[in-house]
Amino acid sequence: MAELNETHDPGRRSWVASANASDTDFPIQNLPFGVFRRAGGEPQGGVAIGDRILDLAAALHEGLFEGDAAAAARAAAGDRLNPLMALEPAAASALRRRLSDLLRAGGPDEARAGSLAERLLVPMAEATMELPARIGDYTDFSCSTHHMMRMGGGTVRPVFLHLPVGYHGRASSVRVSGAEVTRPLGQLAGKDGQAIFGPEPQLDFELEFAAFVGRSNALGQPIPIGQAEDHIFGYSLLNDWSARAIQFFEMALGPFLGKSFLTTISPWVVTQEAMAPFRTAAFVRPEADPPIPAYLRSEADRRQGGLDVRLEASLRTGAMRRRGDPPQRIVATNFRHIYWTLAQMLAHHASGGCDMRPGDLVASGTVSGPEDEAKACLMEANERGTRAISLPGGESRMWLEDGDEVLIRGRAERDGFVSIGFGPCDGRVAAAEARA
């Protein structure tokens, strides 16, 4: 598990002025990695700092890195971050220390890096973000008992308390924030009980939190729970867009087309080390719940396996956008409500011998909590399709309509530390494609 060091020092400020704003997602204590394109350029690796992106290839070209930090910067500078994710955690850590030194006010290279700022820093407003990794496999777990309880009409099946339940998602349709979400077509139950094929009438979102896998394990060699954190490179926000009518008609084996039409992630990967100040105890299980099986049990995980991340989802309809209204917050929750830790999800995933690879994406499931405002999808908020939610301007929503935007944000905060964010995880619904 990553430890606190000088890169988390709340006194540290950057010579990049926008990184010192109290509401920025990307202060110098964050330094997440992502893949961006300059106008007309090729995808390349970068680091978010304030409202700028540090161009890693440009910084390498200027000779600003050496040793382990240079090796890690080369692994991160290409068109996807998989080579960086595959390295030992110490390599990303060396790069983080060097980046923090390069970008901090009063640092050893402030004058040199500052004089190169024009070449090193790209305004985010002029860049396009790409997927941070080639996602070989995407797994979506379902690890909020609050979510399962409301979706299941008041009960949680015992299996959810014995193991982190998940399904193999679709990696090819994962997109970064901003990609349009076309309403899917599919088979669903018609009024007379017959199957019909048509546009999904009950389009929903699920607010989730996700981990990118770092180092791999060999096929047949499980990841012990005590080492699972070292196989997680970092974290992003995720929207598991869900077509409820298609999902519940088809779901004999698990979700399939109801979940595969598109998944949105935030483009920046906040590293395991950046999250060190925001570690917290794992979810405390009710006494009556089954004991944690040995292969998922670790004292360190119980004490520190949780993450304190405030998560919100907002909705903006086409009418709100035309009026210039701000998005309306409809979910406020926290990752602490998740029953299993991400380390337990990863250890369970590999427990049968499945090999996890750098850049694989593992999502938590809908991050719902006990409070009404912590219902983290529409199907919970609308009480399984029986009570529409109210929006400003007299509108209401049971399910998402064409033109609706869902905007997910996350922020990690702790007294005595500088809070960090994840960037946007947004998508707008477009009408189903007309098809004969």
Residues 277-316 binding Mn ion (CB under 5 A) are none
Choose between 83 and 184: whose C-beta lies nearer to Mn ion.
184
* # chain residues binding Mn ion, by CB under 5 A: 3
Cβ 240 to Mn ion shortest distance, Å: 3
From 8, 61, 146, 147, the catalytic residue: 147
Q: Is 162 a catalytic residue?
A: no
Neighbouring CB atoms inside 10 A of 327's CB total 18
Closest contact distance (angstroms) between CB of 139 and Mn ion is 10
> Per CB under 5 A, does 250 bind Mn ion?
no
Give the range of 240-248, 328-336, 415-423, 427-435 binding Mn ion by CB under 5 A. 240-248
Q: Which of 238, 275, 247 is nearest to 135 (CA)?
A: 238
Helices (H), 256-353: 299-304, 318-323, 342-350
Show the tokens assigned to 46.
Answer: 């970068």
Question: Tokens at residue 162, please?
Answer: 């014995």
Of residues 33 and 399, the one with the C-beta less far from Mn ion: 399
Q: Which is nearer to Mn ion, 140 or 301 (CB)?
A: 140
Print the binding letters for residues 195-214 with Mn ion: x by CB under 5 A, - otherwise. -----------x--------
Q: What is the DSSP code string of 132-170?
A: SS--S-EEEE---HHHHHHHTTS---THHHHS--EEE--
Of 240, 360, 404, 405, the one binding Mn ion (CB under 5 A) is 240
Write the DSSP string, 178-213. Answer: T--EEPPEEEEE-TTS-EEEEE-SSEE-BEEEEEEE
Q: How far is the CB of 366 from Mn ion (least distance, A)?
A: 5
Choice between 36 and 138, CB closer to Mn ion:
138
Cβ distance to Mn ion smaller for residue 29 or 263 = 263
DSSP code string of 368-404: --SSGGG--BHHHHTTTTTSPEE-GGG-EESS--TT-
In angstroms and rounded to an integer, the radius of gyration of the C-alpha atoms of the chain is 22
- In the complex, residue closest to Mn ion by CB: 240
Binding to Mn ion (CB under 5 A) within 115-154 occurs at 140
Output the six-digit token pair for 241: 């867009």
Active site residues: 147
- Using CB under 5 A, list all residues that contact Mn ion: 140, 206, 240
